[in-house]
Structure 1
């Protein structure tokens, strides 16, 4: 296969840590391993970029919002333009239609430099009174992007609704997030892992940012309703603005001894907890994909989740976990798995196998490369009108 020179662009990259950041890193690493040259274009940040197996280019815009890791400015794009003149990329792959750098660089790529571009949509638009304005801005800003990838069918449907007729004949390819099955793997002995972490009995784990939208606040109530099951312990991994409220609910329901809030942890420690887990629990409703649930499945842990958004495309109901229509069914499904150890173990084995077959990076990166080839073969659309005018004027002056 011919080697490609690939630009990956997004505001969200190291030292910020999250699903998109690790997705870009893992994708870039595997593309390099396959013989491609990868350059990550992102915002400012203090990180040992020289230790990474690919190139990292950082640009600071006139307006930089450190709290949300976003950098904006035309001066920055002028610098990116110079980078494109030097590097001669084959394709640009932006990450998140809500990332100014991803959108700006993709437009520069297709609309000025003549390099085909696509953007992966990692999330839902969500509900907001500002949505009519947001949708109009998205349609305008994404018009030069040559194609899209959605991480789930639910995200694809959301993106189609956003773009409407402005999508035209451009394609949206559905490719799930990939996962490192060598890193996320079952423990040799789950009980020994529990002992290492000071856990006992049946362990139910949730990994999430603590926001209202993620609905982690329902866990203390569910723990209280399982009061007859003294052998059940909940572990909540993550941090966020709802932490104080969750701590108050833990005290209110008197489940301090059965709900452990451990905060944000490095990936290695998250894996340790998942390897000690009997059931992974996801109460969220609006989940674009469910990377945390996928990590649990890779560790051989069955998942109990709500049947909404992209997570129901990751968890096979009755095979690798149980999906629910509401909180009452969520509790019933959780109780069912707690009471049936053989079902839990069988689901855990099938969970690991499903991840290896459908979500491993070996599978996912091949599908992404296929979309790269299709996008390159199709070529970029027409340059920006103003850029064409600019070039015409330059040629006239030169003549």
Structure 2
């Protein structure tokens, strides 16, 4: 079975990041598997309208007001007309939204359900339960996921967090991790010999690489605090820091205050294709994040042959085996101690970083991620049996197993939204009713017959298919057969 899929998120290229890379790599692999995939995101500077990327991946850059960190202004309904137009033009069957903080994602799932389309949501982040921002985000997530067909999380920790935040049935949430294209993150040279490489001498320079957005949640304050302490203890250590954000000013002030400009190289923002070139300049990758659902960048670092020092938060402990990492609490003293252990381990040649690339290559594959995501699509479309998709548990009949197969009937949708809270439930029901009325208006005044169907990008033929076509052409052409003989 092949499907027409729309990936929807505020976060996509040219902005670098884990969510952006995930959407692109997953989309290209799904196209390789025969599906039609488009991406709907907001307009970036210099990118408006329709763009085509590698492999015929079509991107719709919708002009919309961006308010914070590339997130669009939440309007609930104003995105509906153009979203409906795109979905009809591309004959979309499944809408797949990404990221809890993406307004486009939440609105697209609401509109898709109103239009009778199946929906999937992928959560890439962890959120708390106490601060005002998390409470509002969780309530919005509860609204969206009350009527979604299936949810994907990038780690088991992320799944537990999402299930609690949105009060979900755990059987409706799958764990499909991120991956990396290992061939794009190769070390400078791979040692094939069985003997360990020459250890780093006591006077050799060790370079610590940090590639991250310079925000509070990425642990930039911790990084600012530990850099002077590490450099004062290890004169032969250097730092390379790539990334931008509001904390960049604090970082520069720290360097000036401690006169460390000659030991810390600030690269500023870099493109994703430049990440590998920066990583191979180092020996240790430092990741001081305060919260992380997965952490693709540490897999990329290990693939480049770097020893990883990271905080034990979120889903990070699930990502790499212990021999590739040194963990620390998200505290200044513990992070300094962990970095010191990593430096000592490299100098004593206790870790074989030259083997990391081959090990990572066997652990993570976007092809595997695409296959598992495809199975989710098959499950929500009814192309595999519910007990095969969700799992069968003795004594739990599928008639009474909960509302896992989402009905499109308005009354059933309102029942699900009404349970979201005393006041929020009524507000959510009102939003759904208004959304349905807007859809009826659009269907009456802008009928589907007036929307041109977009031509699909021609699919590449596999070698076996080419041979079959070539053989058919030869059989059907007697003159060609005669000339060949």
Between 66-75 and 94-103, the greater mean CA deviation after superposition: 66-75
Q: CA deviation at 1:342?
A: 7.0
Partner of 1:116: 118
Partner of 2:24: 25
Partner of 2:58: 55
Q: State which structure, 1 or 2, has the greater radius of gyration over its C-alpha atoms.
A: 2
Q: Identify if the C-alpha distance between structure 1 residues 123 and 257 changes in structure 2 by more than 3 Å, giving closer, same or farther.
A: same
1:210 pairs, out of 208, 211, 214, with 214
Question: What does residue range 194-343 of structure 1 map to in structure 2 within 5 Å?
Answer: 201-226=205-230, 227-317=232-322, 319-325=323-329, 326-341=331-346
Q: Identify if the C-alpha distance between structure 1 residues 357 and 20 changes in structure 2 by more than 3 Å, giving closer, same or farther.
A: same
Number of aligned residue pairs: give it. Answer: 380
Q: CA deviation at 1:118?
A: 0.8
> Cα RMSD over matched residues?
2.9
Between 67-76 and 204-213, the greater mean CA deviation after superposition: 67-76
Partner of 2:177: 176
1:65 pairs, out of 67, 78, 91, with 67
Unaligned runs of at least 5 residues, structure 1: 191-199, 394-399
Q: CA deviation at 1:232?
A: 0.8
Q: CA deviation at 1:39?
A: 1.2
| 1:320-344 per-position Cα deviation (integer Å, ceiling 9, x unaligned) | 1111234333222222221233776
Contact 2:100–2:137 (CA under 8 A) maintained in structure 1: no
Partner of 1:381: 407
Provide the rounded CA distance (Å) in 2 between the counterparts of 1:324 and 1:9. Answer: 35
Provide the rounded CA distance (Å) in 1 between the counterparts of 2:436 and 2:53. Answer: 40
Q: CA deviation at 1:315?
A: 2.9
Calculate the TM-score normalised by the size of structure 2.
0.71
Q: CA deviation at 1:278?
A: 0.6
Q: Identify if the C-alpha distance between structure 1 residues 84 and 220 changes in structure 2 by more than 3 Å, giving closer, same or farther.
A: closer
Secondary structure at the residue paired with 2:22?
Answer: helix
Secondary structure at the residue paired with 1:40?
Answer: strand
Partner of 2:160: 157
Partner of 1:4: 3
Provide the rounded CA distance (Å) in 2 between the counterparts of 1:5 and 1:137. Answer: 27
| 1:176-206 per-position Cα deviation (integer Å, ceiling 9, x unaligned) | 112111212222279xxxxxxxxx8211101
Unaligned runs of at least 5 residues, structure 2: 192-203, 387-404, 412-432, 442-485
| 1:224-258 per-position Cα deviation (integer Å, ceiling 9, x unaligned) | 33324221111111111111111111233343322
Partner of 1:396: none
Secondary structure at the residue paired with 1:182?
Answer: helix
Between 336-345 and 176-185, the greater mean CA deviation after superposition: 336-345
Contact 1:138–1:163 (CA under 8 A) maintained in structure 2: yes
Structure 2 residue 88 is matched with structure 1 residue 85: yes
Between 46-55 and 253-262, the greater mean CA deviation after superposition: 46-55
Provide the rounded CA distance (Å) in 2 between the counterparts of 1:283 and 1:276. Answer: 19
Q: CA deviation at 1:117?
A: 0.8
Provide the rounded CA distance (Å) in 2 between the counterparts of 1:135 and 1:390. Answer: 26
Q: Identify if the C-alpha distance between structure 1 residues 133 and 102 changes in structure 2 by more than 3 Å, giving closer, same or farther.
A: closer
